Amino acid sequence: MAEEEKADDVAIAWEQGRATNLENWEERVPIHERDYGLEEYRADPDHLSPVVRHDLAALAPLLPAGTVAGLDLCHLQCHIGTDTLSFARAGAHVTGVDFSPSALATAARLADELGLRATWVESDVLEAASAVEGWFDVVYTSIGTITWLADLDRWAAQIAGLLRPGGVFYFRDAHPTLLTIDPDADGLLVRDRYFANGLAQRWESEFTYTGDTRMQSTRTYEWPHPVSEIVNALLGAGLHIVRLDEGRTLPWRYSPRMVDVGDGQWAWPGDEPDLIPCTLTVVARAAG
């Protein structure tokens, strides 16, 4: 796979960056439909995605009955729905939100195949509170999400607007520190910006993260967000932080140097897992 090319500190209007990213994500859908292991969901009615298996265990102590069963759950940036439908299999009443119509069409087909009920809403996550009907016990977003967003204050406001009083927001994603590391370096070498400055990073890559199928829409824009910005956005929206964790493994291979440690998890080799965090988890609760 060819290395990605990046230009930092790019001034671009949100609408233009969003449109460019949508073209890229639309093209990813058939690739991910092939590469996400959907046959496992079809073959085993108890199969859950590795991401959701991890997140269910982390969520359980924070839920009234220790389970999502019977709860209303909204999954923001749900893509083709494998995680959303895993929560449905765990008993939640699920709504998936994404800006890609092709991704939602794939998610809806998969739900029908699996005999699972789900509601799908096409919307930018930054407009989710007005696009989605009702309120939720759990709002969930996990892995590969907020770097696609320029405005975290607006993001957090959507989450607060979707939660019932006392509802829980669960966030897990690549740690902002991890995303500063050059994935192609021989060691842990800092290459990219950690702090937000209002400007984007422009990436060029012919490939998505699942394989070697070349794409035509090669350009994307992302915005770095430090831990402080994430936490302060949620606090500013009136949510109460109840837990913050940092993890040593990641559910995709960020770097060729990472090693497979089982159950779809990857880690840095040798003693490096203790040197740099791979994931950040933040759990927040709405007042009431």
pLDDT on residue 205: 79
pLDDT tens for 253-280 read 999 999 999 988 999 999 999 999 999 9
Rounded to an integer, the average pLDDT of 138-144 is 96
Q: Which of 103, 97, 122 is nearest to 29 (CA)?
A: 103
Structure tokens at 236: 């500013």
Place of tokens 């119509």: 101
Percent of the chain with pLDDT over 70: 98
pLDDT on residue 185: 96
pLDDT on residue 244: 98
pLDDT exceeds 90 at position 32: no
Give the burial class of 164: count Cβ atoms within 10 A of its Cβ; 0-12 exposed, 13-18 middle, 19 or more buried: middle
pLDDT tens for 189-209 read 999 999 999 999 999 877 677
pLDDT exceeds 80 at position 168: yes
Rounded to an integer, the average pLDDT of 218-243 is 97
Regarding the domain delimited by 5-285, which CATH topology (the fold level of the hierarchy) does it fall under?
Answer: Rossmann fold (3.40.50)
* HSE-up (13 A, CA, CB side) for residue 20: 18
pLDDT grade for 167, boundaries at 50, 70 and 90: very high
Rounded to an integer, the average pLDDT of 222-245 is 98
Q: Where does residue 71 fall: left (phi above 0), alpha (psi -120 to 50 degrees), or beta otherwise?
A: beta
Q: Order of strands across the sheet with 5-10? A: 5-10, 200-204, 219-222
pLDDT on residue 2: 42
Report the distance separating Cα 204 and Cα 207, nearest Å: 9
Listed by start position, the domains of the chain span: 5-285
Query: DSSP E strands: which ranges in the chain?
Result: 5-10, 72-76, 93-98, 118-122, 136-142, 163-174, 200-204, 219-222, 240-247, 259-262, 265-267, 279-285
pLDDT tens for 86-134 read 999 999 999 999 999 999 999 999 999 999 999 999 999 999 999 999 9
Choose between 36 and 118: higher pLDDT.
Answer: 118
Report the distance separating Cα 79 and Cα 90, nearest Å: 19
Lowest mean pLDDT among 17-26, 81-90, 212-221, 265-274: 212-221
pLDDT tens for 74-89 read 999 999 999 999 999 9
pLDDT on residue 169: 98
Rounded to an integer, the average pLDDT of 154-169 is 98
Average predicted confidence (pLDDT) for the chain: 94
Number of CB atoms found within 10 A of residue 56's CB:
18
